[in-house]
Structure 1
Amino acid sequence: MAVLFAAAGHITVFAAEKKPSAIYKVDTDKKIVALTFDISWGEKVPDPVLDVLEKEDVKKATFFLSGPWTQRHPKIAKRIQSMGYEIGNHGNLHKDFSNYPNSWIRNQVTLSEKSIKQVTGVKTKLIRTPNGDFNPRVIRCLNAMGYTVIQWNTDSLDWKNPGVQAIQQRVLKRVVPGDIILMHASDSSKQTAQALPRILHELKQKGYKFVTVSELLSEADVKTQVN
């Protein structure tokens, strides 16, 4: 979009500023999906989730880790990295970014980034904000730090522990090509590991392949939204 101004016989074109966006899915005809897991606390759920992924031979997924969790559970964080899964940033304190100034946001993201790098050796480039909270200002701040903000198109609602079957049906009914699927591997999500096998089996049967978020973003025509 552009705005035209005419003055003294001259036309000046000013390009409209692009609205800052978070990524929810990618428009593609390919049957590919990005399975993502947020982790902010606990050590009981992550290993069983990783065990299921390993057993089902799912080699591509993206884990968004908080800084404090990574420091408290370095063994699990290193296992995620050693299994070849992509690691993203999930912030430091689990608080809504939109309630705080940019200086606070930069500090929180930097703290988490340093924690993850110290434990796993990974320099994060993707971020999922705590609670998925953001506004245009937050996205501009994170983009300026070199981060891409990742949301989701299919929410498993596994953190509500609605029942294994409910989690499975919610994901399987909503998934579309190019999807980003939100799940959790924090201890509050007690049914995720039990729900995963059927989700993985049926998606495979439908012809879906699992990719990392970064691989998904390499697809053309990224579909974005902003709250």
Structure 2
Amino acid sequence: MNIIWSFQWKQGKRVAILAIAMLLFVGVLYSEAGFGKIGALPTITPSSPGAIYKVDTDQKVVALTFDISWGEKTPGPVLDVLDKKGLTKATFFLSGPWTATHTDIAKRIKSMGFEIGSHGNLHKNFSEYSNEWIDDQVKKAEASIYDVTGVKTKLIRTPNGDFNKRVLEKLHSMGYTTIQWDTDSLDWKNPGVDAIVNRVLSKAHPGDIILMHASDSCKQTVEALPRIIDGLRAKGYQFVTVSELIAGTNAKSKTE
């Protein structure tokens, strides 16, 4: 009897060791198939209502984003800079009225391959209005952007970055992922080209979402942008779209 028990125990021990080895092997394969390989990307379906500010990753990737709500003097030159620098990955958040009245620029953003998200319709704080108003505004912007570019937006950056838990839940119910930022260039304050450049280069980090603007009120963005791109590249950063950033790793979100 003791001989049989000893044999069974040894067999069980071998099975356990093999199982542990297999788990370790699968873990290594999983870790090596991570964020570094950005290929075909899945459609983003938000899993919970929260605003995304950044992602956790050790890889030096950042998402450069631009909001446009009005004007025609700044957007074109911003696109010229991106083209000249060979930067093909960026995300533009467009307002509905601006898209409807600046169709050529909006179409150029699309033709250059940049990602397009919604910046709402009227530039008003969502948290101050009802869910019905939000629904109407988001759908109006969505229709305008689709009519001009053929893009059905699924990412949204609310006007002024304003939201609360109710707003996030409403946007989530409409199939939208709310995008914020972790580094604000402050180009909307026109603090000086050097100040914009130094702020972005000092604060950018792996997995960062960087906020910039291509509206006419931001008069120093065009001059600061080439230095920002060159500076980030010199630090070893690669540029990705917001969707690529989210799809590649775990996004960090906040509910309020």
Match of 2:230 among 198, 201, 218: 201
Root-mean-square deviation (CA), in Å?
1.0
Q: Give the corresponding residue for 1:65.
A: 94
Q: Give the corresponding residue for 1:141.
A: 170
Q: Is the 8 A contact 2:168 2:255 kept in 1?
A: no
TM-score by length of 1: 0.91
Amino acid at match of 1:79: R
Does the residue aligned with 1:124 lie in a helix, a strand or coil? coil
Match of 1:97 among 126, 136, 140: 126
Amino acid at match of 1:108: Q
Map 1:57-206 onto structure 2 (within 5 A). 57-206=86-235
TM-score by length of 2: 0.81
Amino acid at match of 1:86: E
Larger radius of gyration: 2
1:162-181 Cα deviation digits (max 9, x unpaired):
00000000100000000000
In structure 2, stretches of 5+ residues that fail to align are 1-46
> Comparing both structures, which one devotes a greater share of its residues to helix?
2
Q: Give the corresponding residue for 2:39.
A: none
Distance 1:139 1:51 in 2: 34
Q: Give the corresponding residue for 1:11.
A: none
Distance 2:233 2:249 in 1: 23
Q: Give the corresponding residue for 1:43.
A: 72
> Comparing both structures, which one devotes a greater share of its residues to strand?
1
Q: Is the 8 A contact 2:121 2:141 kept in 1?
A: yes
Q: Give the corresponding residue for 1:30.
A: 59
Amino acid at match of 2:176: Y
In structure 1, stretches of 5+ residues that fail to align are 1-17
Distance 2:76 2:176 in 1: 27
1:82-136 Cα deviation digits (max 9, x unpaired):
0000000000000000000000000000000000000000000000000000000
Does the residue aligned with 2:248 lie in a helix, a strand or coil? coil
Does the residue aligned with 1:26 lie in a helix, a strand or coil? strand
Amino acid at match of 2:92: F
1:158-214 Cα deviation digits (max 9, x unpaired):
010000000000100000000000000000000001000110001011110000000
Distance 1:164 1:152 in 2: 20
Distance 2:166 2:255 in 1: 11
Note the C-alpha offset of 1:219: 2.1
Match of 1:213 among 242, 247, 252: 242
Distance 1:59 1:19 in 2: 30
Distance 1:41 1:220 in 2: 33
Note the C-alpha offset of 1:19: 7.4
Note the C-alpha offset of 1:220: 2.2
Note the C-alpha offset of 1:225: 1.7
Distance 1:19 1:207 in 2: 32
Moved segments of 4+, more than 6 Å: none
Amino acid at match of 1:41: W
Amino acid at match of 1:189: C
Does the residue aligned with 1:218 lie in a helix, a strand or coil? helix
Distance 1:171 1:85 in 2: 21
